[in-house]
Each structure stands twice: as structure tokens, then as C-alpha cells.
Structure 1
Amino acid sequence: AVHLPVSVYLGWISVATIANTASVLNEFITFPLDTQYLWTALVLVVALLLAIIMIVKRRDFAYSLVVVWAAIGIYVKWTSVEVIPLIFWTASIVAIVIVLAIFLIPLIMRKNPVDYYLVRN
């Protein structure tokens, strides 16, 4: 009963920590715009890796859905302001890969997805 809200909270803390770290680095070190776009893409990939690790090691889909939510938020922001293809495509791919991983990892492990996420061994 407590696992789901804690997972969502941990997901938001992780996403916020990544975003705040990037913001602080950007404040103290002035990077050219192209470098900032690259860093944004790399940070999204780090969030993707964290989400996959949480799916595989902790069987935690809620944490991963928070990362999907954040990636979709970045996708929407960068399509409404100005389309930066690197950020646009990275955010899209991160969200899609995580959603696919939520469904495919249990199947790869030859388990029912419901049992995979709800039954703790």
C-alpha cells in the first residue's frame, strides 16, 4: 500500500535532482547552446537508464512512469517553444522505450506482467 506513493515520490526526486543539477551547472558554467542541447539529451538517457534499472532490479513501474511523464513534459515544452530535433527525438524515444520496457521486460523474463510487478519474491 505504501510502495506506490513512495515510488512516485522517489521518481520525482530523481527527476528533480537531475534537472536541478543541470540547472546549477548551467548557471555556473556557460555552455554554448549546442552543448546545452547535447547535455539535455544525455540527461534524458541517464533518466532512461535509471528507469530501466528500477524496472529490472526493483520491479518498479511507478518510478519509470514518472520518468515517462517528465520526458513527455520535455517533449511538449520543446515542441511548443521551438523544435530542437535532438531534444524532441530524445524525449520521444525515452518515453517510448520506457513504456515498451514496462511491458516487455516481464515477458522477456517469462513472467506474467501483473505477477512480475505485484508479486515480490
Structure 2
Amino acid sequence: MQQSTRGNYRDFWRQLVTLAAIFGAFVINVLSNVFPLNGLSIGEISNTFFKNVLIIPANYAFAIWGLIYLGLFAFGIYQALPNQRDEPDLRKTGYLLVIACVAQSIWVYLFLSRLFALSVIAMLLILLPLIGVYVQLEIGKSRVPRLKKWCLHFPISIYLGWISVATIVNVACALYFHGWNGWGISAITWTLIMVLIATAVAAVIVIQRRDIAYAGVILWALVAIALKHSDNSILRNTVFVLAIVLVLTATINSLRPQQENI
């Protein structure tokens, strides 16, 4: 009985800390736009310091943060419900989402402080825990109730999808800021390599896990990159082709019979 009480106490604190971390990350994000450190918001820094970085999507693409936070709040509230206190999947994820949310707040400070190399480390501390949550929840690998899918699986898929893109962009910005010459390879070639990798990862996830939410985020980013650089025919056309390939992959895969364990 005593051990069970201690377990419930730990679960309660995990629920509380997770909800607080999500709310804290949201508040930091809002404040960073309303009262930007050093006078420039994240978007303004992106549009001034990194206007020549080709991998950055069009400004409208960042509106996805509204959807991300909506999903995170759904996650936070769902996992905080009393009947979810001893939910096995949530217990397995532990404090991984907390780490991601705290790292996100740190990233905001580092990026606004123009410590771009350090911001890459913070970005990885967002990405890696999210991958851990994604794996522990077995997203796309097992059937779950609809409410759990909407409140747990979709929010993490969308968040991870965007952070996957953001990590590539963050690394590109840091390298650009510190004058990396790309080993003599042109910027457009590097950009095409990066979008190809992002598309390939999304395609693999769609095939293995049928995760349309993750693929949809990557598709959103690809279209935004193509539209921002519509004057660059090579980049625009290649990215649009990759977007079409991703859509076809997802469509064809959705027509295949599901495996027994899904």
C-alpha cells in the first residue's frame, strides 16, 4: 500500500510538472514576441540575419505554432486527468516532454541573444526527448482510442515534425552566421540535400507508421520553402516534386492493408 501511494505521488507530480512545463513554454514564446530580447523577435532575426538562408520557409509557415500549442495543451490536460495518472504509456514517457519544453524556452533565450551555435544544442535537447516520447508512445504502431490519438499521438507527431524541420533550419542558420563555406558546395545544393533528407525521413515514417500528421507537417514546410523561393526555379521545382512524391507515398501507403499490430 505504501509503495502504491508513493507511485501515485510520483505520477501526480509528473502530471503537474508536465502541464506546468507546457504552459511555461507557451508563456515564454508569447513574451518573446511581445517583448523581444534585444529588440528583435525570432521572425525579425530570421528575416534580417538569415534572409539568404534558402532552407527557411515563408513566414506564414510559422503559424503552425498555434496548432502545436493547441495540441500540447490538449496533451497536458489529458495527461493531467486523474484517470490517466497511472497510464502505462505516459509513465514510460516520464519527464521527456518536460525536458523538451524547458529546452525550447532556453532555445528562445539563446536565439534572441544571437548565440546561434548554442541554440543548436538547445534545439537538439528539444528534438531528442520528443523522439523518445514518440517511440515510447508507439505512435502508428498500435491501435489506441480516438481520444488518446487526438490528445497524445497527433500533438507529438505535429510537434516532432516541426522540430525536425526547425533543427535543419537552425543548423543552417548557425553555420551561415559563423561563415561556413559549405566545403565549396553551393548553398542551393546543400538546401536540396536537406529537403531531400527531410522528405525521405517523412516517407519512411509514413510507410512504417502511417503517421499522416508528421508527414503533413513536412509537406507544409516544403510548400512554404518552395513558395518563398518561387523565383529560384531549380529550388522551387525540386521541392514541389518532393512534395508531390510525399503526397503520393502517403496516398499509396494508405491504400495498403494494415498490419495486424496496428
TM (norm. structure 1) is 0.81
The CA distance in 2 between the partners of 1:64 and 1:120, in whole Å, is 21
- Out of 216, 220, 227, the residue aligned to residue 69 of structure 1 is 220
**2:211 aligned partner:** 60
How far did 1:120 drift? 5.2
Fraction of identical pairs, as percent? 35
Q: Which has the larger radius of gyration?
A: 2
Q: How far has the Cα of 1:61 moved from its partner?
A: 0.9
Counterpart-to-counterpart distance in 1, 2:232 and 2:225: 11
Q: Quickly say closer, same or farther: Cα 1:88–1:33, change in 2 above 3 A.
A: farther
Q: Please give the alpha-carbon distance, in whole angstroms, between the structure 2 residues aligned to 1:11 and 1:120.
A: 24
C-alpha displacement of 1:27: 2.2
| Number of the residue aligned with 2:243 | 95
Instruction: Give the drift of 1:42.
Output: 0.7
Gaps of at least 5 residues in structure 2 are: 1-149
| Higher RCO structure, 1 or 2 (CA under 8 Å, sep 6+) | 1
Q: Does structure 1 conserve the Cα–Cα contact (< 8 Å) formed by 2:161 and 2:217?
A: yes
* Pairs within 5 Å for 1:80-91: 83-91=231-239
Distance in 1 (CA, whole Å) between partners of 2:164 and 2:157 is 10
Q: Structure 1 residues 95, 33: closer, same or farther in 2, change over 3 A?
A: farther
Match of 2:162 in 1: 12
Give the alignment of 1:30-45 within 5 angstroms. Answer: 30-31=181-182, 35-45=186-196
1:53-105 per-position Cα deviation (integer Å, ceiling 9, x unaligned): 111122211100101000010011011xxx21221112101111111111112
User: For residues 247 and 184 of structure 2, what CA distance do their matches in structure 1 show?
Assistant: 30
Contact 1:78 1:88 in 2 (8 A): yes
Q: Counterpart of 1:106? A: 254
Contact 2:207–2:250 (Cα < 8 Å) also in 1? no
In structure 1, what is the Cα distance between the partners aligned to 2:183 and 2:235? 15
Say which is worse superposed, 84-93 or 39-48, in terms of deviation: 84-93
User: Using the alignment, how far apart are the partners of 2:183 and 2:221 within structure 1?
Assistant: 24
Whole-angstrom distance in 2 between the partners of 1:68 and 1:120: 27
Tell me how large the CA RMSD over aligned residues is. Answer: 2.1
Distance in 2 between residues matched to 1:23 and 1:33, nearest whole Å:
17
Which structure 1 residue ranges, 5 or more long, are not aligned? none
| 8 Å contact from structure 2 (residues 199, 218) kept in 1 | yes
Q: Quote the Cα distance in structure 2 between the aligned partners of 1:60 and 1:41.
A: 24
8 Å Cα contact 2:202/2:246 also seen in 1: yes
